[in-house]
Amino acid sequence: MHPIIYRHADVDGFKVFYRHAGREDAPKLLLLHGFPSSSHMFRELIPRLADRFHIVAPDLPGFGQSDMPARESFAYTFANLAAVIGRFTEVIGFEHFAVYVFDYGAPTGFRLALEHPERITAIVSQNGNAYEEGLSDGWNPIRAYWRDASPANREALRALLAYQTTVWQYTHGVPDTASVSPDGYSLDDFYLRRPGADEVQLDLFRDYRHNVELYPAFQEYFRTHRPPLLAVWGKNDPFFLPAGAEAFRRDLPDAQVQFLDTGHFALETHADEIAAAIREFLGR
């Protein structure tokens, strides 16, 4: 058994909370969560991998137990999230590592790869998108905000922060919703209810357009550096379509693509299958 240890790292004055497990001399694996979650989403995956890998799962800036500074002192952009997490990997001594990217973790992790491609040994993308065809119509309200950052369009997005929406994100596309623990979406809603958290998330909705603008750069990174890549995808995801997983093969013909009969938060229902796929993939 490899216990999970809970720590904070001082990243140039920014407190980053993270979960740590496994032997420090084992191959390194960085787990990056998405919206509106935290490293808590990896609570079932980490124990299934800690015997083989040195695992670190941080909470992104503004999420979970990491610092959420005021918007006046920290601009909530994906470039800044990636900058903090990039420095975090240096602070904890992650020089070379595989990265698991999910949702918001994808543009964060892919930015790390653009900045330091020599550090990335492999990529596991679980519903972590890098292609336009992977974006569903569910993005249309956010696309409207990209086109026109009016107060009305910003206000319309508050529905995406409601408790019922978070529950829906966890349960949509899951054949048996009774298999989804309420712990994940209840904790996410707790963090979303913190004073100021709503404005942070609305800022990130607005900034997400820059991730889409970077898709060609991410794809060029794939073609140039050819990282081993496993796309393991909840095929019923209402936001990131299966076409986004298949598209990796366009730039990485050897990419492995595996679909699961579940939704966006695939780890809630398929932790065993995802862990097995990662062990086989990274084991080679």
Q: Can you give the pLDDT at residue 202? A: 98
In 3D space, the residue among 158, 124, 126, 154 whose CA is nearest the CA of residue 227 turns out to be 124
Per-residue pLDDT in tens (0 to 9) along the chain, 284 residues: 789 999 999 999 999 999 999 999 999 999 999 999 999 999 999 999 999 999 999 999 999 999 999 999 999 999 999 999 999 999 999 999 999 999 999 999 999 999 999 999 999 999 999 999 999 999 999 999 999 999 999 999 999 999 999 999 999 999 999 999 999 999 999 999 999 999 999 999 999 999 999 999 999 999 999 999 999 999 999 999 999 999 999 999 999 999 999 999 999 999 999 999 999 999 98
210 among known catalytic residues? no
CA atoms within 13 A on the CB side of 190: 10
Bond preceding residue 47 cis, omega within 30 of 0: no
Q: Can you give the pLDDT at residue 1? A: 72
**Active-site residue, selected from the candidate residues 2, 20, 54, 264:** 264
Q: Can you give the pLDDT at residue 284? A: 85
**For the chain, what's the residue count?**
284
Q: What domains, with CATH codes, occur in the chain?
A: 5-283 (3.40.50.1820)
Using alpha carbons, list the distances in angstroms from residue 39 to 33, 101, 274, 282.
Answer: 6, 12, 16, 21
Q: What is the pTM of this model?
A: 0.97
